[in-house]
Chain A
C-alpha cells in the first residue's frame, strides 16, 4: 500500500442527524485527506461519537452525503462499509472472548470471502500474514488461548491487530488511550503515528496531553458542528475554543470526562 494520492479519502457533506427532534449534528462538513492523521476533540455531547456512527453506517444521517474514496457510502450497511475499507476501534476492547487469539485474527482476515469458502481453510498466504500479525502484536505465545484470558491491554492490542490485518484505508480510533498508563499511552501514540504513514487515521480523544503530543491537525467539534480546525497551538489559542471548554467547566463545576480541559 503505497498510496500517495491527493485529495480527500473521506468527505462528509452537509450531514444532519437528529434523534426524536433533538439535533445532534447540523449541516456538518468534515473531510480527511489520504494518509492523514487527524484528531477530533470536543466537549461531551458535541457529536463526536455520532460522527463516527455516521461514517461507519451505524447511524443513518437525516440528510447529507458521506463520500469515501470517491464513493457515496451513505446507503451502505455497516459490514459493507467495513469491506470498503473503514475500520473502527471501539472504546472498550471488543473481541470475541470465546475464540482463541488466532481465531479472532483469522476471522478478521477472512473478511470478504463467501460464506461457502469459509467452510474451508484460509489460504496459505493469509495464514502467513496472520502469523506475522500475531508476532507484531506480541501475542504469539498465547495464540491458542481463549481471548477471555488476556489482560485488558492485551485485548486492546488484539483488537488493533484485528483491524490492521484487514488493511483498512481509513482507521477510526475512539479514545484509544482511555484507561492506559502513561507508558502505554506513549507507546500507543507512536503506534498510531506509525500506522498513519500507510493509512488515514481519525482519532477521537479526550486526553488533551495525548492530543498535543501526537497530533498534527485537530478538528474541534461543538454543538454538532465544526468549531475550528488547525494545529493544536492554534486551537488552544482560539477564543471560541477556550470559551467552549473553559466556559463550560466554569458553569458546570464538575465536567464529566475532560478532567483536564485545554491547558491554556
Chain B
C-alpha cells in the first residue's frame, strides 16, 4: 500500500513540475519541451511492451511516423487550399491521388492517426508472435520493417514527398503553428495526453491482463498451459502501444511542422529504445524521465559540440547500459526499496523461509 502512495506522490510531483515548467521557459524551449513530451509518450508506450511484455520493438519509429503522416496529410491539404500540395506539383502530379482524398476530412485523418499504426501493429505482431520466434528475432524483424518502410516512403516521392517528407505546415486547424501561444497550448495538450497515456498504461499493468502480460514475458509456454493464448495478449498490447505512439507522432508534427522518413528509420527507432532504457525499463515512469533527460542532453550536447556530439552521446549511452542497467528510475527505486527493506524488521523474510507447508489433509475442494 505504502509503495503505491509513494508512487502517486512521485507522479504528482513530476507532472506538477512539468505543468509549471512553461512559465519559466522561453518560447523556443517550450516548443522543444513540447516535442520531448511526445517522446515521453512514445517511451512509456515502449516500456509497456518491452519492460512488461518482453517485446523489444526496434520499429516504433514506424508507428510514430504513421501517426504523424496521417495528420500531416490532412494539414498539408488544408495548407494548400484548393491547389495540390507543393511537393506533388514539383513531382508533376496533376490530380490528387486516391489515397490522399479522404484525408481532407479532419475526422477521418484524426481517426487514421490511431487506426493505421494499430492495424499495422496487429497484423505484423500477430504473424510474428504466432510463429513463436524468440524475443531477439522480433527485434530484428521490427527493425527490418521500419527500415523498409522508410525506404518505401523515400521512394514514393509523388505520394509521400520523398526524402523531404511533408514540410512547411504553417496552419493547424485554423491556428498559426509558429504562434507562441499555440505552441504553449500544444505543450499542455501533450502533457495532458502524456498523463492519460501514463494512467492508461498503469491501469493495464496493474490489472489481471497486465499480470498476464508479465507472465507471458516470463514464461510464454506456461501461459499456454494455463489456458491463455499469449499470441493474442502480445498482439493486443503491441497494437495498443502502436496506437499511443501514433498519437505521439501526430502531436509531434503539429509542434514541429515537418515529418519525414528520417523520423522513421532504424536510428530514431533505436533512440526511442534509448529513452526507455536510460529512464529505466519496467518502471513506466522511467519512460518519461528517460525521454526528457535524453532529449535535453542531446540538444545541449549537439549545440555545444556539433562535431563530436555523436561520440559523446554514444559513450554516455554505453556507460548507462554498463553501469546503470536499471536506468535512472529503476536505480532510484532499487535504492529506495533497499532502504525500506533494511528499516523493516526481518519478520517478513523469516516467514518466507520457513520451508514447505504442505496442505492440511482432506481439505482439498475441487
Known: A99-B215, A135-B363, A162-B226. A115 touches B352 (CB 8 A): no
A129 to B250, CA, bound (A): 47
Whether a CB of chain A sits under 8 angstroms from the CB of B179 is no
B208 interfacial contact with A, CB 8 Å: yes
- A71 within 8 Å of B by Cβ? no
A124 interface residue per 8 A CB criterion: no
The yes or no answer to A88 lying at the interface (CB within 8 A) is yes
**Which residues of B in the span 224-265 have a Cβ within 8 Å of any Cβ on A?**
224-230, 232-233, 236
The reply to whether the CB of A125 lies closer than 8 angstroms to some CB of chain B is no
Could you tell me the distance in whole angstroms from the C-beta of A188 to the nearest C-beta in chain B?
8
A208 within 8 A of B: no
Could you give 27 example pairs across A and B, Cβ below 8 Å? A78-B224, A79-B224, A79-B227, A79-B228, A94-B222, A94-B225, A95-B222, A96-B219, A99-B211, A99-B215, A106-B211, A111-B227, A118-B207, A118-B212, A119-B204, A119-B208, A121-B208, A133-B365, A135-B363, A138-B360, A139-B357, A142-B352, A150-B352, A157-B358, A164-B366, A166-B226, A194-B362
Residue-wise interface mask of A (85-98) relative to B, using a CB-CB cutoff of 8 A (1 in contact, 0 not): 00110100011111
For A157, give its contact among B204, B223, B228, B359 (CB under 8 Å). B359
**The residue from A106, A108, A157, A199 contacting B366, defined by CB atoms under 8 A apart:** A199
Bound-state Cα–Cα, A119 to B95, Å: 47
Nearest-CB distance from B221 to chain A (Å)? 8
- What residues of chain A have their CB less than 8 Å away from a CB belonging to chain B? 1, 56, 77-80, 82-83, 87-88, 90, 94-99, 103, 106-108, 110-113, 115, 118-122, 132-133, 135-139, 141-142, 145, 149-154, 156-157, 162, 164, 166-167, 184, 187, 190-191, 194-195, 198-199
- A141 neighbours in B (Cβ, 8 Å): 351
A22 CA / B361 CA spacing, docked (Å): 45
Q: How far is the CB of A205 from chain B (nearest CB, A)?
A: 18
How far apart sit A226 and B218, CA to CA, in the bound complex (Å)? 37
Q: Are A136 and B225 in contact (CB under 8 A)?
A: no
A103 and B219 contact, CB distance less than 8 A:
no
Please determine whether B358 and A94 come into contact, CB atoms closer than 8 angstroms. Answer: no
Q: How far is the CB of A58 from chain B (nearest CB, A)?
A: 8
Assess whether B225 is in contact with A88, with CB atoms less than 8 Å apart. Answer: yes
Nearest chain A CB to B132's CB is how many angstroms away? 11
Q: Which 8 A-B pairs have the closest CB atoms?
A: A153-B356, A82-B227, A118-B209, A111-B227, A78-B224, A138-B357, A198-B366, A118-B208
B353 and A132 form a contact (CB under 8 A): no
